[in-house]
Chain A
């Protein structure tokens, strides 16, 4: 089965700096990857996704990078703002007919004003 790791429990960044959150997955057949943001008392909120036929995708202030060779995924947040403070999860679809997401443990991002 799939496992998702490289868990850095907490990350503190200065407001205005860039943040990088990393994730590793185990199954080379995994074909779809999602980053979620979870604020206190809320459910996971979709941020950005990427499929295995791409290695980079950009959104508004966020970029996801996928390195299939080493099975590594990262989320970059540009010009981090206080509103970015939350727990960030990577989630992976394993493919091969499985439509369940496997989540990492999450990284709590704290933005220092």
Chain B
């Protein structure tokens, strides 16, 4: 069974550009989460989808970040326009039910220069 997959694995963009990260959760997992880890800090929650609905987006840093999960399958996280402080590793995770183990993807390392 395929795990959570993320694309791309690395992205280097200039400040002001747009980047879109993609996450494919484990098949059948209704719950999809985005997290990120900026340099030297803890992994922080961004948002949570249940199917195609945003359940909790309290961790989204600002309106430059837009997450979607059309159709309740894969999800995208768009950063527009990117700023230097957005650099970090963005993780996606999925879980079958609420309050159960979440399985993480390998992450997308975003570098904004």
Contact = CB atoms under 8 A, between A and B. Distances in A.
Interface string A9-45: 0000000000000000000000110101000011111
B91 A44 contact: yes
B6 to A, nearest CB: 8
Contacts of A41: 106
Contacts of B93: 43
A93 B101 contact: no
A43 B107 contact: yes
A42 B105 CA distance: 8
B4 interface: yes
A86 interface: no
A43 B106 contact: yes
Given A41-B106, A42-B106, A43-B4, A100 B45 contact: yes
A41 B59 CA distance: 24
A106 B106 contact: no
B74 interface: no
A101 B102 contact: yes
Nearest to A95: B99
A49 B59 contact: no
Nearest to A44: B104
Contact of A45 (B35, B56, B59, B104): B104
> What bracket does the count of chain B residues touching chain A fall in?
20 to 34
Interface string B77-113: 0000000000000010100001101111111000000
Interface string A82-110: 00000001010101001111111110000
Interface of B: 4, 6, 31, 33, 35, 41-45, 48, 55-56, 58-59, 91, 93, 98-99, 101-107
25 contacts: A31-B99, A32-B99, A34-B101, A34-B102, A42-B107, A43-B91, A43-B104, A46-B101, A46-B103, A89-B43, A91-B43, A93-B99, A95-B99, A98-B56, A99-B31, A99-B48, A99-B99, A100-B56, A101-B35, A103-B35, A103-B42, A103-B44, A104-B42, A105-B41, A106-B42
